[in-house]
Structures are given as C-alpha cells and as structure tokens.
Amino acid sequence: MLKTKLDTMNLNCKEGDLAVIVRSQSGNEGKIVRCLRLSTELDINRWANGDVATGPTWVVDPPVPHNLHGQYYCMGRIVGDFRLRPLRDGGGEDEILRLAGRPVPVEKEVLNGVEVLTE
C-alpha cells in the first residue's frame, strides 16, 4: 500500500474523490464511483476477484461488476487508479465546454401552430 505523501502525489485520484471509470475490461466505462481509500493487501485478497491491476488500487463504492473471459461473475470493490479519472470542481476550463463550445440561447416562436426553435 502507498503511504508516503510523495507516492500519493502521482495518483489520478485521491481519497473521497468521485471518479468516472475510463478503462474497463468488464464494460464499466462511464460508471461513477467514490474512492474510499487506497486498498491494502487484505482488501485485494477480499474484493479483487482476480482483476488486480499493477500499481495502486482503490476501494470504491458502489461495487462494480467484474467478468472473466466475457462472463459476469462477481461484484468487486477494487479498481486500479489508472482506470479512473477524478471528477473535481477545478478552477480550470471545463473540458466539455472547451470541446463543444458554450450553449447559445434558443428562442421559440410559433408558426402555423408549430413551435420553431431558432438561435
């Protein structure tokens, strides 16, 4: 388990973060979990169910489905840090707004009884 301040500085997530799963072999991409704490050997033996990543892992809530060779077989609470992207309220630019642009106001007008939306 990682215990030093230096070790935790290189992690994607930190304790208490909400995170989205961005890499999964079990179809969990897009699921939101909370990173409860870095996992210990005991956690990995109890909850990893054979899907252990190299590198730091998190105990997450809620549990997520794991599969083996394409078949669902259990709910797991261990997710590798490299599989997660934290959802934090940062002071920087919003990634979605940067990619899609700011929304524009839409006005509604009724023409012959049909609503027409215009920018």
Which pLDDT score, from 0 to 100, does residue 7 have?
A: 54
Q: What is the residue extent of each domain of the chain?
A: 5-88
Which pLDDT score, from 0 to 100, does residue 5 have?
A: 45
Q: Is pLDDT above 80 for 77?
A: yes
On average, the pLDDT of the chain sits at 76
Which pLDDT score, from 0 to 100, does residue 60 have?
A: 93
Q: How far is CA 25 from CA 51, 57, 106, in A?
A: 9, 15, 41
More confident residue, 33 or 2: 33
22-74: pLDDT as tens digits: 998 888 899 999 999 999 888 777 666 555 556 899 999 998 887 766 666 67
DSSP states along 54-74 = SS-EEEEEEEEEEEETTEEEE
Q: Is pLDDT above 50 for 91?
A: yes
Which pLDDT score, from 0 to 100, does residue 2 have?
A: 45
Place of tokens 């899609």: 100
Neighbours of 43 (CB within 10 A): 18
2-29: average pLDDT: 79
Which pLDDT score, from 0 to 100, does residue 40 have?
A: 87
How far apart, in whole angstroms, are the C-alpha atoms of residue 119 and residue 13? 40
How far apart, in whole angstroms, are the C-alpha atoms of residue 64 and residue 26? 9
80-109: average pLDDT: 75
How far apart, in whole angstroms, are the C-alpha atoms of residue 58 and residue 47? 11
- % of the chain surpassing 70 pLDDT: 61
